[in-house]
Structure 1
């Protein structure tokens, strides 16, 4: 009979490979912070203390490395939003404050790590021939939107689910992302508007709409 027991050496190798992949992703993030969003594979390899051959062995191509970094940043944004909103937002905060906390958390992450944000949004490291069709950040935006939809539903004490909840999440994340892009292009906090200023204005749009204030 042929044994089907898992090979311990194979499992240990898989764990080592995953750990090494995580190390390389962190090195890529450091390289972006050091060299800017236009960082190349040479700079990433140098920061990781390895060669481009090793990077391609773990990520196949530049799009693969970009996707891995995007997934890591995605997790950071989701955790930041979750902490800002609170574990039980309905018990801890007024609904409007929950909306404001979610928006501010996203914007503060942009303010604190602008080059990493530009790297994710613009994906300059991925050449045209390796880009997926459509928005390269669509997957990340969709995952964050689903998470935000759940927070908003809980914060509003609303049973809204399904397509409507998804629409709310996508709309909020899309609006904040567009505002963040414009804000960074204008110089970010150096423009005279802080992340909190922008969060206040966007919360007003979301909560009160575009009605003129008297």
Structure 2
């Protein structure tokens, strides 16, 4: 009777380092292409308007059109990720102003003027954030809604600190924050959508700064707190 070869019940195999390396390189390559396509899409919208097609974007990114649809599920996925990239660019400028410095009036002016300066420089990107393109209207973008909510919540936290300091009660903080964000958002969107508006960007900035101050001043006065635009922010924290 010959020798019997007994095979083990389970053969352990180690993952191939070479295979892992290929997967990592592919993911890096895919991420680089995604970034290149999103940057190309932003440039195309900024120059040609929000109704650019996938082929235009692919040409700018120097990739075949089919590659765009390998990276993104569909045009809706591309547009939503594009909104996220546009917001990253906006927040790089705006986020520092949400940590106020100087006087109350200076802090309000800095935030408003930074936001409007970005919008004047990139009006088509801002339009795309709000409504998409003429052929692909957008409502209820989770990225855009989430960003507005995040900004309002950050402002709410700041106002809560101020109200606790000056009034010992921060109940108004959230309502004030969301009201102010809504005021700015609605006013700016209407101004951008109405080319016949009598207001220039400087006049709109002045309107927003005065309106924000009046909302803050009126509500603080109602609970017995008096401040003025020259009050240092440091005294309120």
TM norm structure 1: 0.76
Question: What's the CA shift string for 1:7-45, capped at 9, x where partnerless?
Answer: 122112111111110010000011112211121222212
Are 1:122 and 2:143 an aligned pair?
A: no
**Count of residues in Structure 1 that have an aligned counterpart in Structure 2:** 199
Q: Distance in 2 between matches of 1:16 and 1:48?
A: 14
In structure 2, C-alpha distance between the alignment counterparts of 1:18 and 1:146, rounded to whole Å: 26
8 Å CA contact 1:70–1:120 kept in 2: the answer is yes
1:151-194 alpha-carbon deviations (Å, 9 max, x no partner): 5643774377x996555444333322221122112338x85512
| One of 34, 42, 46 as aligned partner of 1:21 | 34
Structure 1 distance, partners of 2:92, 2:171, is 23
* Match for residue 49 of structure 2 among 36, 45, 63: 36
Cα 1:40/1:56, change in 2 over 3 Å: same
Counterpart Cα distance in 1 of 2:72 and 2:27: 15
Please list every run of 5 or more consecutive structure 2 residues that lacks an aligned counterpart in the other structure.
1-11, 165-169, 219-237
Question: How far apart are the structure 2 equivalents of 1:95 and 1:107?
Answer: 19
TM-score by length of 2: 0.70
Corresponding residue number in structure 2 for 1:3: 14
Match of 2:82 among 43, 53, 69: 69
| Aligned residue number for residue 201 of structure 1 | 207
Aligned partner (choices 142, 148, 154) of residue 146 of structure 2: 142
101-110 vs 20-29, which deviates more?
101-110
Which residue of 2 is the match for residue 82 of structure 1?
Answer: 95
Which of residues 162, 165, 176 in structure 2 aligns to 1:158?
162
Residues 148 and 3 (structure 1), Cα distance of their counterparts in 2 relative to 1, 3 Å cut? farther
Deviation digits for residues 36-95 of structure 1, max 9, x if unmatched? 11212222122222232111111111111111110011112222112334xx52xx3223
- Based on CA coordinates, which of the two structures has the bigger radius of gyration? 2
Rounded Cα–Cα distance in structure 1 between residues aligned with 2:49 and 2:180: 27
Q: Does 1:183 align with 2:191?
A: yes
Residues in 1 aligned to 2:157 and 2:188: alpha-carbon distance in whole angstroms: 23
RMSD: 3.2
